[in-house]
Structure 1
Amino acid sequence: MTREPDERATGSGSSGDHQDRRLLLQCRTSQVTRAAEVADRPGSGLVVTAERDNLRGCLGRVRHLLEVDHYRRPVLLDAARYAGAGRLPASAGFDRRWIECQRDLGLPVLTDSGYLAPDDMTGLVGILEGAARLGDATAVLPVHPGWLADRYARNALLRYVNAVGVPVAVIVERPPDPVDGTAALVGLLHLLRCDVPVLLLRAGLSALGALCSGAAAAAIGTDSALRQLDLPAGPPGHHPPTHGHGPSALVRQCLSHQPLTEIEATRRRHPDNGMWQCRCATCDGRDLGWLARLPEEQRAPLAARHSVDVLLDLRAELTGPSVQLNQWSWQARCAAAASRRREVGWDRLPTLDYWQRAIPAPTSASSAVPAPRRRRPERTGFRRVPSGPIGSD
């Protein structure tokens, strides 16, 4: 692996505030080798998620990544104690060894928080104040979506986040019925306007929308189970399996990952649709069907490299200095993606609808001038981006 200037301490390889908005790749411990290969480029980095509560294995693999493989992009560690049927509650204390090992590796410190259930105000205060006492930590907030969708819960969350003043990394559980997905997304946009750096972890393509809306950084999962926090199922210690559809690739115009087999079948039904041709560095102008025609052992790594190429291209196109303009651009992309999916008969993606409704449409009275920067201590290495106005409830 080529040695480059170490970006881990600053979270940025370029000057300028809008360059701090990294798009990280979130992977499991067992996926680190492949993920590091595709995420070893400017604007990217890794979030490594512990598997089956094996924190020691996660720490050991990351130490090898840094000290032997000399990976120079930012790396964050996710203990994932909030996930699975045996997940811990927010009231569970932090594991001091987990905190100290991150410090020993020279990484930003993320708390190993438990799950923040609805109305668990004690858990919320405990996570935030516990992170503040550590002095150098980012508070991980794995939240039920009601914390964002419900106005009163949201106001309490925002009040405590601003009052305690530590950076936060939010993970939003998949909205169960009857939680309104649009309301939860509006709540996330409010959270991104807080006075502290806010990161979004374990996300899908919404990671791009979060970057457009002022997130300091955002992480998109390597598979569907790491692109959202699912409701727990199965016995304690069980972690949901990934879906068995084979390798997937990102279809740029649809803002979604699709199995290679589905891409090829749909391309054959709609050969004249212009969205199959891809000009990313990996595809180099070929149609996406070439990935499905590769030898089996090459499909997954090249599909992953293509997807990261496209994601980083989109990040560069969408994240300018004006958050408001970025949001409008993202809103338009979501509308176009929903239309392209309908053209080829693919199912509607509710997330695309949520984003279109959560961001207010441009008006003549709207200003595209970035708001003045508000300063707070920033311990993540990722800077807060001033946010534009968002819709009301």
Structure 2
Amino acid sequence: MDLRDRLLVQVSVRDVYDAVTLAGHPGSGLVFTGQAGHDAVRMARRSGYDGPLLADRRRYAGSARVRGTARLSADWIADQVEAGATAPLTDSGYIGKGDHESLHATLEQAVQWDSVIAVLPVHPRWVAEDRPVLLRTIADYGTPVALVVEDGPPYRPLPLPLLSAGVPALAALAHGAEWAAIGVREVLRHLYPEPHEIRGGWRRGGARSAFVPERLEFVPVERLSDGTCDCSTCRGRPLRRLASAEEIEVNTHNAKVLHRLHNRLLRSTHRERWWRELTA
């Protein structure tokens, strides 16, 4: 099962019953997030889902995140293989600013397994000032990787797969990444610095955002304009109506419009130029 050119949908394990609805179109796939991610993969396989499936344990996030020098779990790798994951992801810790020890520790451990993808959750400096070092180190080890980039200033896209991303996932695909994953909700589209301030407070149903293609961004449903959407979920109705919709309907809209944009990217003859023109 090939991950090439896939725009995956990253969900939490509690989304397992809605996940196939969100990733049922060609060119998609799923990333289940959390300690029970491999169990969600197994459930999706048993339900008949035959698209790409990954499991991201996400030990690198939150106030209790572990450092990248932490030991990777062979059991976590084995559980993913047994569950039917397309490729196992390492349960990596966080790689902080200038933390070369963590970068090397993660990659040194990952190379011991065949077909394992080394997850590299990095401080934003690694994709800006330390970019040449990061790329050279990855090339030296030669193992497949997937980046998770902590929130920070905008950076030039890298030709490497992305997890827990928003719009930068499309930019990565346009610049040569094999695959990328966009989270269904804000917490899965970001790697927040720790400690971080929670903004906006709690809202019933969680903080829901709808993707607006004309703006190339996710907009909180309470701030949507009067524009309409012609995706098969919205059917020409105003986007503003999503403010009172269930989360699954908002996420289905997001999946449909992102899939359409992804198809346009795949059909372009020069992806980088297409992306530059789209974002100009």
Q: TM-score, normalised by structure 2?
A: 0.91
In structure 2, C-alpha distance between the alignment counterparts of 1:137 and 1:243, rounded to whole Å: 37
Match of 1:372 in 2: none
Match of 1:300 in 2: 247
Match of 1:82 in 2: 60
Which structure's relative contact order is higher, taking Cα pairs within 8 Å and 6+ residues apart?
A: 1
In structure 1, C-alpha distance between the alignment counterparts of 2:202 and 2:56, rounded to whole Å: 22
Residue 91 to residue 80, structure 1, CA distance change in 2 (3 Å): same
Residue 142 to residue 246, structure 1, CA distance change in 2 (3 Å): closer
1:132 Cα deviation from its structure 2 partner: 1.0
Q: Alignment partner for residue 145 of structure 2, among 168, 172, 187?
A: 168
Q: Is the 8 A contact 2:117 2:143 kept in 1?
A: yes
Q: Is the 8 A contact 2:265 2:274 kept in 1?
A: yes
In structure 2, C-alpha distance between the alignment counterparts of 1:34 and 1:233, rounded to whole Å: 31
Task: Give deviations 1:165-193, integer Å, cap 9, x for gaps.
Answer: 11110000011xxxxx24xx22x42xx1x
Secondary structure of residue in 2 paired with 1:114: coil
Match of 1:158 in 2: 135
Matches within 5 A, 1:97-176: 97-107=75-85, 108-150=87-129, 153-175=130-152
Q: Is the 8 A contact 2:72 2:91 kept in 1?
A: yes
Gaps of 5+ in 2: none
Match of 2:240 in 1: 289
Q: TM-score, normalised by structure 1?
A: 0.66
Q: Is the 8 A contact 2:118 2:146 kept in 1?
A: yes
Q: Alignment partner for residue 41 of structure 1, among 20, 25, 49?
A: 25
In structure 1, C-alpha distance between the alignment counterparts of 2:200 and 2:112, rounded to whole Å: 36
Match of 2:187 in 1: 225
**1:254 is aligned to 2:233:** no
1:321 Cα deviation from its structure 2 partner: 6.1
Amino acid paired to 1:299: E
In structure 1, C-alpha distance between the alignment counterparts of 2:135 and 2:125, rounded to whole Å: 13
Task: Give deviations 1:191-233, integer Å, cap 9, x for gaps.
Answer: x1xxxxx311111111111111111111111111111100123
Match of 1:93 in 2: 71
**How many pairs does the alignment contain?**
276
Task: Please identify the structure whose Cα radius of gyration is greater.
Answer: 1
In structure 2, C-alpha distance between the alignment counterparts of 1:310 and 1:302, rounded to whole Å: 12
Q: Is the 8 A contact 1:24 1:46 kept in 2?
A: yes
Gaps of 5+ in 1: 1-8, 12-19, 176-180, 193-197, 268-275, 336-393
In structure 2, C-alpha distance between the alignment counterparts of 1:240 and 1:225, rounded to whole Å: 12
In structure 2, C-alpha distance between the alignment counterparts of 1:246 and 1:116, rounded to whole Å: 28
Amino acid paired to 2:61: A
In structure 2, C-alpha distance between the alignment counterparts of 1:247 and 1:85, rounded to whole Å: 23
Query: How large is the Cα RMSD of the aligned pairs?
Result: 2.2
Task: Give deviations 1:18-47, integer Å, cap 9, x for gaps.
Answer: xx3111111111122223212111111111
**1:327 is aligned to 2:272:** yes
Amino acid paired to 1:214: G
1:300 Cα deviation from its structure 2 partner: 2.0
Match of 1:14 in 2: none
